[in-house]
A and B are shown apart, each in its own frame.
Chain A
Amino acid sequence: DIVMTQSPDSLAVSLGERATINCKSSQSVLYSPNNQNYLAWFQQKPGHPPKLLIYWASTRESGVPDRFSGSGSGTDFTLTISSLQAEDVAVYFCLQYAGTPRTFGQGTKVEIK
Chain B
Amino acid sequence: QVQLQQWGAGLLKPSETLSLTCGVSGGSCSGYYCSWIRQSPIKGLEWIGEIHPHGNSDYNPSFMSRVTISTDTSNNQFSLKLSSVTAADTAMYYCARGTDSRKIQHWGQGTLVTVSS
Interface set of A (CB-CB < 8 Å, partner B):
36, 38, 40, 49-52, 55-56, 59, 61, 93, 95, 97, 100-104, 106-107
Question: Which A residues touch B60, using CB under 8 A?
Answer: 100-101
With A49-B94, A49-B109, A49-B110 known as contacts, the answer to whether A103 contacts B47 (CB < 8 A) is: yes
With A50-B107, A106-B44, A107-B44 known as contacts, the answer to whether A100 contacts B58 (CB < 8 A) is: yes
Q: Is the CB of B102 within 8 A of A61?
A: yes
Closest 9 CB pairs of A and B: A49-B107, A55-B102, A104-B45, A102-B47, A101-B60, A97-B103, A100-B58, A101-B47, A52-B105
Q: Bound state CA distance, A107 and B42, in angstroms?
A: 12
B74 interface residue (CB < 8 Å to A) = no
Question: Which A residues touch B108, using CB under 8 A?
Answer: 49
A-B contact count (CB 8 A): 51
CB distance from A61 to the nearest CB of B (A): 7
Question: Which B residues touch A93, using CB under 8 A?
Answer: 45
Q: How large is the interface on B (under 10, 10 to 19, 20 to 34, 35 or more residues)?
A: 20 to 34
Q: Is the CB of B44 within 8 A of A102?
A: no
* Cβ < 8 Å to A, chain B residues 43-101: 44-47, 50, 58, 60-62, 94, 101
Q: Bound state CA distance, A55 and B106, in angstroms?
A: 13
What are 22 A-B pairs with beta-carbon distances under 8 A? Answer: A36-B101, A38-B103, A50-B45, A51-B107, A52-B102, A52-B104, A52-B105, A55-B102, A55-B105, A93-B45, A95-B45, A95-B104, A97-B103, A97-B104, A100-B58, A101-B47, A101-B60, A102-B35, A102-B50, A102-B103, A104-B45, A106-B44
Q: Bound state CA distance, A28 and B21, in angstroms?
A: 34
CB distance from B82 to the nearest CB of A (A): 15
Question: Which A residues touch B50, using CB under 8 A?
Answer: 102
With A49-B109, A93-B45, A107-B44 known as contacts, the answer to whether A101 contacts B104 (CB < 8 A) is: no
Q: Bound state CA distance, A67 and B57, in angstroms?
A: 36
Q: Is the CB of A104 within 8 A of B107?
A: no
Contact among A40, A104, A106 with B102 in the assembled complex (CB-CB below 8 Å): A40
Question: Which B residues touch A101, using CB under 8 A?
Answer: 47, 58, 60-62
